[in-house]
Structure 1
């Protein structure tokens, strides 16, 4: 991923946060990823770690329409994904390789519901979905831009992200084509 793309993503996210009255803490930990696929506009995400403690984690994320966070699961982490601004689609599976249609029980806004695995669950601003360990998921904005929150148990981005696409890497290789606006979490 080019440094110029990372810088632009940081500026776009910062501007969108500010235009929606989201104040960031002093010296936040930024992360910008194309998941190692060199296609940030279709597979990309901007993340800010607001808290990363041994017991819990909180993140603020930013994505534009058509930017997918690809299919993955966590073995340890339980997380709530919260649509803060815009509209967000979340897709869940118990077993992504299962071609049979099956229902899964999910928790949306603290209420349990049954949904068909592999179907879009649309979250409007303020709504949340709980994702349990070993539950495959992907998400992407339906609106032009979206602010996404995450509150979870302890976070280990290096060892607890398991992607369907084996070519995915959690952190991108950075091609330095201009000076960095700031240092990323992975640097």
Structure 2
């Protein structure tokens, strides 16, 4: 992805969050120079902040995700914090690819905007798509979903996803962008994503202009 595209998407995301009066922490708006001397912070150590990916597909509108990690622990570093929170934006028909987590459990929450469509499978011992129905918890109530079936979350609704539960999601066509929250156990995107079809989690970046704000993957380069 070009840095100019990333900058434009972050600028758009800030406006979208503000339209819902969802407030980001002050350091969300820092420029690259503001980060000097912060390398020992929880923010840098645990990869908080802006995160954007096209999953290596080169077509963000069709396969991509922009998110902001607000809080996260780091079990390897002995952190007492054992939870994480993210706020995401999912566009109509923009796919977050099929994957599960070995360790993380999570609530995915529709915080507003359009509808979020979540496609679900269980997984087999060899990590293929399961062929049996699965039971998921939607706002505290159990629901049985056939393999490849979907749950549509309208604003205010949420779903609990267990370890090993394959899922992909996208915004329902014609309903607009979705403000999506995630509350989970500690998140490690470097080691805990099992994509059904192998793909990159973070983008390769062509530096055609300076960063507006740093991505969490930019910290080693700029700090």
TM-score when scaled to structure 1?
0.94
Unaligned runs of 5+ in 2: 29-48, 75-81, 219-223
Structure 2 residue 80 is the aligned partner of structure 1 residue 48? no
The separation in 1 between residues aligned to 2:178 and 2:15, in whole angstroms, is 12
> 2:128 touches 2:196 (CA, 8 Å); kept in 1?
no
Q: 1:145 maps to which residue?
A: 177
User: What is the 5 A alignment of 1:12-27?
Assistant: 12-27=12-27
Q: Which structure: larger Rg?
A: 2
The alpha-carbon distance between structure 1 residues 129 and 99, as it changes in their structure 2 partners (threshold 3 A), is closer
Aligned residues: 185
Aligned to 1:4, the other structure's residue is in SS state helix
Among candidates 131, 150, 175, match of residue 120 of structure 1: 150
Q: Is contact 2:115-2:171 (8 Å) kept?
A: yes
2:89·2:179 contact (CA, 8 Å) conserved in 1?
yes
1:38-75, Cα deviation, whole Å (9 max, x unpaired): 11110111110111124010000012112110000100
**Matching residue of 1:69:** 96
Gaps of 5+ in 1: none
1:99 CA displacement: 7.7
Q: Which residue of 1 aligns with 2:4?
A: 4
User: Matched residues in 2 for 1:80 and 1:60: separation?
Assistant: 12
| Structure 1 position 92 matched with structure 2 position 123 | no
Query: RMSD of aligned C-alpha atoms?
Result: 1.4
Secondary structure of the equivalent of 2:217?
A: coil
Taking structure 2 as the reference length, the TM-score comes to: 0.79
| Partner in structure 2 of residue 169 of structure 1 | 200
Deviation (angstroms), 1:146: 0.8
The structural deviation recorded for 1:97 is 4.3
Whole-Å Cα distance in 1 between the matches of residues 4 and 171 of structure 2?
A: 23
> Deviation above 3 Å: which 4+ runs of structure 1?
96-100
Q: What is the CA–CA distance in structure 1 between the aligned matches of 2:134 and 2:149, rounded to whole Å? A: 11
